Amino acid sequence: MRWQRILPILCVLLLFSLATAGCTVSLNPPNVQVNPSQSPLGINSTGTSNGTAHMLAVEQADNNSSYTGAVSDVIVYAQPGTGHIFVETAPLTGVDFQATARDVIKVAAQIARINSNQRDFEFVLHVPKGVDAVDGPSAGLPMTIAAYSALTKKETNSSVYATGAIDSNGTVSSVSGVYPKAQAAAKAGARVIIVPSGETVVSIASPLATNVVGGVNLQAQLQKEGYNVTVVGVKRIEDALPYYFS
């Protein structure tokens, strides 16, 4: 009987403690693999679909004097909704990445001829171990491909890798680090590497240079290194679609 009187008081104290101290939960911590067919937020209605594409990035070596390419995957989930766009926070994503996500949804919905205000979207990243933050606009092209795949329910060609920024009109623009990114893609098994038009020529000495004049042909250089790849330069996102969905 004594515990029956004390228990309600203990419950009130516990609820007060949680309300004042705050409660932290961890959803999809870094490097935890999620089921690509299931939305991590648990929004799995009848109309849910997803699309995946390889992203290419550049990471700085420990000595800060050299750069290497890195391959990640982006998964975009689309489900019935009202136009919300969610970006996973593990790894952390910066403002540029989030702004790109908004442009990506606009472009993908336009070319898929679907009203984006009738969908909710989630961007989920699978990154190499040790990567704790992702930012920049250079993954705009593959992000758009993943979003288009989710909207149309068309599966992407997994042997295609890409890098390129994208604006709200679907124009693909130049990015830095094309050479180390392409190397990473080739090592990962890429058969086709899509880059912005004008960046099929690269600088080996200055790998972060953009729109190089007098450099080396990227496809020829990769083939010289023993990789059987085709490099394609594109001006608009529509130019990349046949390689992903043929």
Residue 225 lies in a domain: yes
Range of the domain at 66: 28-245
In a domain, 19, yes or no: no
- For residue 202, CA distances in Å to 76, 156, 205, 207 come to 30, 27, 9, 7
Structural domain contains residue 79: yes
Do 177 and 208 meet the contact criterion of CB atoms below 8 Å apart? yes
Question: Would you say residue 6 lies in a domain?
Answer: no
Interval 106-154: pLDDT, tens: 999 999 999 999 999 999 999 887 777 888 889 999 999 999 999 999 9
> pLDDT (tens digit, 9 = 90+) per residue, 62-98?
666 678 899 999 999 999 999 999 998 888 888 999 9
Structure confidence by residue, pLDDT tens digits, 209-237: 787 777 899 999 999 999 999 999 999 99
With respect to residue 125, please indicate whether it lies within any of the assigned structural domains.
yes
Instruction: Answer whether residue 158 is part of any domain.
Output: yes
Tell me the C-alpha distance between 94 and 147, whole Å. Answer: 19
Q: What are phi and psi of 21, to 5 degrees?
A: -85, -25
Q: Is 31 left (phi over 0), alpha (psi -120 to 50) or beta?
A: left
Pairing relationship of beta strands 216-217 and 49-60 according to DSSP bridges: unpaired
CATH of the domain at 208: 3.30.230.10
Query: What stretches of 88-127 adopt beta strand conformation (E)?
Result: 92-93, 119-126
Q: How many domains does the chain have?
A: 1
pLDDT band for position 34 (50/70/90)? very low
Residue 18 lies in a domain: no
Q: Determine, yes or no, domain membership for 208.
A: yes
